[in-house]
Structure 1
């Protein structure tokens, strides 16, 4: 019956070059998994599920174990054939006695790792192939680590890009808010409000604040102008179409008069000009 190295051989080779492969692995857990995988394949022919560097190293080591096992099976087959043919050819008595002594001193088991290494015809090829297997495994492990580093660098770049996009988005939102505030401010300035005692003087917020600033700059009161115009319009039963221009003209006249007159003088608030203007105003241009 033919020998099977998975079940019949009691040993398998661990090469010294494999030490560098074991050291190249990342953790002791991967080393332990690789060792148990080698025993499982050498003893039962099983191929465990591995990943990463342990998987690559196992494939290279499995090839060496399989190569050594096939050589052991061929050696066992050759011995079996020699036994069927009657063993070794007869020699002189001295050689026979020497052979008997040698055979008595040799162990009964012919499948030890020492015998296998001595009688294996492929020893020279193994020496040339082992460094190549190690170099390929090491190169694969280095490529795998480099690929992981590149992935980490790409992730960091993606995070930086996302942060820049978020900053740009926040800046755009702030600009939009500023534009909305300006629009709201402009809209608030254009809102028309009613002022005066009888609420019949119509001014926008922008016009009111502008007249108020002008009055404060020369020490005058805008409320007095608005109240005076409101009382006059109510008494006459009229409606003012441009109160801003009327108050602005009064303010210009009183500002000049105040600069030339004494501080105790009061603003004149002369309405005769507006009365003449209202009486001679052509309504057909408005209607």
Structure 2
């Protein structure tokens, strides 16, 4: 029996673009009348009497409902015809034989469900076991490769740390050598008994040069005095620095006529006659 969309279809379509038509109506009463008219036509095929904008809107919407209903009726008719013919035909090969293999497979599946568990299952176990073993070996290999990569990263980090430690050690040695060269003690004087660092010697020499005095003269005289007295000076820098300060002040305060010529014998007298015990 043919289907009728008015009586047999349980639903009908309301389209989104109809919203503009509903909003264009003048009042809520017209909207209500239009909605009830759509239900009456879709359910019973009735066309209520409307007027104005509601009537125009109903005619447009009724055409869409009727079109959808006819399409639904045609679909139902096609399905009914297929059902009368026994449903979808079976697939056949080029020789016209039906696909018996599919039927045999389905029958085998039914028989397998009826058999008790454990009967005739040994034939499938080796295959399943082989697949599981293969997957397990792949997983182990992946984990092993991952561990190898991690070990390589660790070795690389260790090598980088070793290089950094080597660089630090080299820098430390360089600083140590520079400090030793700067603070290294050297022996000066006739008897090599005046011990000064390179920094101290350079400072004294610069001071002597600025006032026109000779550092070697101070060193030689102090060395000779210590050797003659059999003494050892623990801070020759302080003694020579004191001498240099006193001579610089005297030379600066001396009048030009008193400093004429190049006779520096009075410095020698002072250096030889000064009481060094005050400085030791």
- Higher Rg: 2
TM-score by length of 1: 0.38
Which fold has the larger relative contact order, with Cα–Cα distance below 8 Å and residues 6 or more apart in sequence?
1
TM-score by length of 2: 0.39
